[in-house]
Amino acid sequence: MTGSRLRVLRGYASSAGSVSTNQKLSEQRAQNVTNIRIQKGNVPLTRMLAPGAPGESQQVGNEKGAEGQSENRRVVVRVLQNKAIAGT
């Protein structure tokens, strides 16, 4: 049952650049993916939680190399399902 699923989006940034710029990039990434999910993914806005933007926090890649910085420029989408509603 897809109606019981909520999408949580979080946009992240590498530490290259200023903190304020990275925060804006993080917000833009999350908002862009939210818009794509709504427009092309047929996910209603009522099934999306407000996008989050942790910015430079919660790094997954080594910031000393280009590859690690690239890994930190990401959007993570989590799908949460209320099992009580879905009956599973």
pLDDT in tens, 61-74: 787 888 888 888 99
> For residue 32, what is the DSSP state?
H
Q: Could you say which DSSP state residue 14 is in?
A: -
Total Cβ atoms within 10 A of residue 37: 19
Cβ neighbours of 36 (radius 10 Å): 12
pTM (two decimals): 0.75
Complete domains list, the chain, with CATH: 2-86 (3.30.1330.60)
d(CA 15, CA 49): 26
> Residue 9, Cα to own-chain centre: how many angstroms?
3
| pLDDT per position as a tens digit, 31-42 | 999 888 888 888
